[in-house]
Amino acid sequence: MVIDKIIGTAKKEGRPYLTELESKQILKEAGINTTEVKLARTKEEAISLSKEIGFPVVLKIVSPDVLHKSDAGGVKLSLKNEKDVGKAFDEIISSIKKHEPTANIQGVSVQHMARPGTEVIIGMSKDPQFGPVLMFGLGGILVEVLKDVSFRIVPLTRRDAREMIREIKGYPILEGYRGQDPANIEVLEETLLKVSDFVENRPEIKELDINPIFAYRDGALAVDARVILEP
């Protein structure tokens, strides 16, 4: 099974952090819609994969040692052609070597630039008393600024998922505030339930962070993800 293989590899290498690539593969197996990601080890591979995937693309560093990719200059968005991709690849690698000189660089991920949507976050952490606790809120940098989130103990019922979404202060944004496209609330409820089932059946996962998820009128797409394993 893909999940067992990924977790087994990480444990063998003695690392608790999964890369974004591994985290998304795991989420995909759990039935969560994620952006398709390919790994490029060289600039030439990055250019070739970009043409295959279709422009515009996003490049991100793939390293278990770089947790805050943007802060270290490890993310380049809206790359429109081969020249942009080649330049971005070089800049990412040199920036990471400067910020994180000891980081194990596996390569750079290439993915299609997702169409913008309302950004939400789903996270999981473990409470010493209650076990896994799920979090839902507005995503992107908004979660750090506003801290507008709701929590429930795993396993979630459908009613829990419904209430979690509706009790954040930013709920009107999900309904389509001031002419914005509304999010598909039912899809977000389903995603919460899938994450709940997944973490309940995977005690080896210590923390999970899916941020952002782009919420659309017709679905939802996990754009970035991070999984931390139990030591």
pLDDT tens digits, 98-156: 999 999 999 999 999 999 999 999 999 999 999 999 999 998 776 677 788 999 999 99
pLDDT tens digits, 147-198: 889 999 999 999 999 999 999 999 999 999 888 899 999 999 999 999 999 9
Take residue 227 and report the two structure tokens written for it.
């999984």
| CATH class for the domain made up of 118-229 | alpha beta
Main-chain dihedrals φ then ψ at residue 147, nearest 5 degrees:
50, 40
Segments making up each domain of the chain, as ranges? 2-112, 118-229
Q: What is the pLDDT confidence band of residue 39, given thresholds at 50, 70 and 90?
A: very high
Take residue 80 and report the two structure tokens written for it.
């429109």
Relative orientation angle of helices 2-12 and 20-29, to the nearest 10 degrees:
150
Which residue, 36, 30, 62, 32, is CA-closest to 49?
36
Residue 230 in this model has a pLDDT that exceeds 80: yes
pLDDT of residue 145: 72
| CATH class for the domain made up of 2-112 | alpha beta
pLDDT tens digits, 40-67: 999 999 999 999 999 999 999 999 889 8
Q: Are 199 and 208 in contact (CB under 8 A)?
A: yes
Q: Give Cα separations from 154 to 89, 151, 192, 198, 200 (angstroms).
A: 40, 10, 10, 10, 7
